[in-house]
Structure 1
Amino acid sequence: MSRRAFEKTGSTYTRLRRKRIYEIPHLLYPNSLGGSIPSLPPAGSRSVGFFGSGRGYKGLHNLLDAFDSLPPSYRLRVVVNSGSEALRRHLVQVRESDPRIDVDFEFLSHADLEKVIRDVDLIVLPFDRILNSGSVIQTLSLGRPVLVPSTVTFEEIGRRTGDGWVNTYSGPLRAGDIEVALTRRRDPLDLAWCADETLHDAVVEMLTHLP
């Protein structure tokens, strides 16, 4: 969370105002599969993905509700590495009732998760509440755009990364938000702000000297 995001968040979480803040850069994720960042998905592609835990704040239910209203040509890949038994039963029912949806409950290796991210055209992370997300940086590291709720942090990442990569929405996630994110024009992906080779040493130095 950046300093600007911290100041904004302090208006909601008032106890944070009395805390000392350290801004620690989030580094680029390594590319385990090798090679350069994969090319952009072709215009009109309709493959959407979600990955992470099944905890409530992740907002998977928001994505399932919105996806239900999309045309038959769309596809959804869901990778959930944890969650309640009730969630698992629900996802099995969703998968059985909608052939467009593929659900994977396994805990994937880093390389396998990278392949899942690369194989879709858009990652949707519809958090109910969030301050920051390593999943967003991981997705961008692999050359895929994301769709996330509008927050100070995500808007700031979007400005640094280039137009069209960090797509945001306000209010409940709608099918139209997904459609717009898939068709947006994108600037060249700029990850220099989190890929600087000097950042790693700077972060280690900062953490070493925290009180």
Structure 2
Amino acid sequence: MKKKLGIIVLSAIILAACGGKEATTATVSKGEYEKLKKGMSYEEVTELVGGSAGKENEIDENITEYEFEGEGGVEDKSSVSLMFKNGKLDTIMETGLLKKEEKDERKFLSSVDYEVMEDTTNKKQNGKYIRVKLPSTEEYLYTFTPEDVAKYLVEKYKNEGYDAIWINIHASGEEHLLSTRAAYTQKGLAMTGANKTGELVTE
């Protein structure tokens, strides 16, 4: 009976040794985040936060990114991203752990937009004169430039029978951004000094 019991105990010890410990996935608190320092090894980080990262991304043979979930952050969902270069902590980033993510409340404009402030025609020169204002950057978010607006206007009026077009573009606060012109005809080329029709000549 004692011999049988000894075998059972020994078997349990062997199984425990073979099984080992399961890696613990850690979260990073504010206090732990503030203790992270460049130059730390991954082992030092895992010892500090009490476990391994939830995600690992090997960018190349020298750079690896580890991502941890945040704990007790100012946002409901927070995360910490650590970039290791040659085995040492190189970049430390957080989202929603220490400060709230700033949300842009501006409306997004996906296409060229503007407000016409002046629109006249010089019948003698057969030229189009137009002055426009771009949307307020405090209210709207957009990626088009004054040059994009000018090209749009040149294209818009190219079949209206004009020889040339003159364009002035202002910011919402009346700041002057661009003055340009373009020709539609041979006569317009002489009037604007352009080398070819449709080309913007900027002052």
Q: TM-score, normalised by structure 1?
A: 0.19
Where relative contact order (Cα < 8 A, 6+ residues apart) is larger, the structure is 1
Larger Rg: 2
Greater share of helix residues, 1 or 2? 1
Greater share of strand residues, 1 or 2? 2
Q: TM-score, normalised by structure 2?
A: 0.19
